[in-house]
Structure 1
Amino acid sequence: MSEAVPSGNLTRGERVPAIERASGRPWAEWLRLFEAANASTIGHSEIAKVARAALPDSLENPDWWAQGIAIAYEQHAGLRVPGQSTSGTFRVGASRTLPLDRDAAIAAWDAAHGELTEHRGHAAGPARTSRTEKRSFWRFSLDGAGKVEVSATPKGEDRVILAVSQEGLPDGDRIEEWRAHWKALLAEL
């Protein structure tokens, strides 16, 4: 990471109960496990491996949970603050469920917001679209404010989760302002 962050428990409060429920392990026990592994010195990937090894095999999507537990520990230990990536930059996201299929959701985003040349004073680069077996995407860069990905993921047969994620913010000072911006654009659809 590029800068030291303040130490102390900065874990987003809503994460801990979910981690405890999913893992069947109290947060204090997770902390003891990480301390025994000297996790504050081993880096994110290794912390996630420690978490993954301690999760029950019956847990659905254990790799995803291991990543979330590692992030929660890093926040708790002051290794990163909420919204900060392992690279030291910050990210923010917002989402909305819509009664559309994934391609129609991307088309709706493009029709409503595709002609915007800037977001919050940052010039928008040209958009690129792509599609995988599971998702459809609409991506662009923002001058001085990272990259934006709009993704549409089916949720059942007649709904989609349209998510906007922005990565590469230089600091976390304006995360909530960016979140409000993306939520407002999603609300227009």
Structure 2
Amino acid sequence: MAAVSGSNVSDTRLIAATGKTRGEWHALLDAENAATWPHPDIAKWLHREHGVDAWWAQGITVGYEQARGIRAPGQQADGTFVAGSSTTVDGELQSVLEKAITIFSDHLGSSPVSISRAAKHPTARWSLPDGTGVLVTVSPAAIGTVGRARVAATRTRLATEDALDGAKTELATVLQRFGE
């Protein structure tokens, strides 16, 4: 969700989805003193009072928290950080998921603690001894695309912002193995 925050989504796209620019949303939230609210309350208010789709409400909330210094980029509501990387590969969702499980299990030295093959976007999740985790999600590359899949890898529960760059680099390196 953090991908919606900051400058990753244009105001043009934000207006098309929500009817307002980032600055307009921030001004409305400031007028409500939302910087003092817990994260869920901000997102619920946007949805309830302004009809913002739940996904966009989360993104606006994260962007607002980042803009007001409440949350750093990549930081979750619990204070931990997440880092991600993705790639698009040839293959159907289930076969790509199986390859991802093999590649990440080999890299991490363990099997996933959960696999969700039946989900719309199949996933595999690893819990690591240091308390962090890895989530791999496989999705269609684009609406209507056949034979291509997007593999998104996320490192979860990182303790510090300093760990982000290394985690992103590690995930990108592992994802390169799809081309081997």
TM-score range, shorter chain: 0.7 to 0.9
The Cα shift of 1:138 comes to: 2.0
Q: Name the CA distance, whole Å, in 2 between partners of 1:125 and 1:112.
A: 11
Any residues of structure 2 matched to 1:97-176 within 5 Å, and which?
97-116=88-107, 118=108, 124-128=109-113, 129-155=115-141, 156-176=145-165
Could you list the runs of 5+ residues in structure 2 that have no partner in the other structure? none
Residue in 1 that maps onto 2:17: 22
Q: Is the 8 A contact 2:116 2:123 kept in 1?
A: yes
The Cα shift of 1:110 comes to: 3.1
The Cα shift of 1:20 comes to: 4.1
CA separation of 1:135 and 1:13: change in aligned 2, threshold 3 A: closer
RMSD: 2.0
Q: Is the 8 A contact 1:83 1:92 kept in 2?
A: yes
Q: Does 1:39 align with 2:39?
A: no
Q: How many residues end up aligned between the 2 structures? A: 168
The Cα shift of 1:115 comes to: 2.2
Q: Name the CA distance, whole Å, in 2 between partners of 1:85 and 1:69.
A: 14
Could you list the runs of 5+ residues in structure 1 that have no partner in the other structure? 1-10, 57-61, 119-123
Q: Does 1:54 align with 2:50?
A: yes
Amino acid at match of 1:54: H
Sequence identity percentage: 28
Q: Name the CA distance, whole Å, in 1 between partners of 2:106 and 2:95.
A: 17
The Cα shift of 1:145 comes to: 5.0
Give the TM-score taking structure 1 as reference length: 0.79
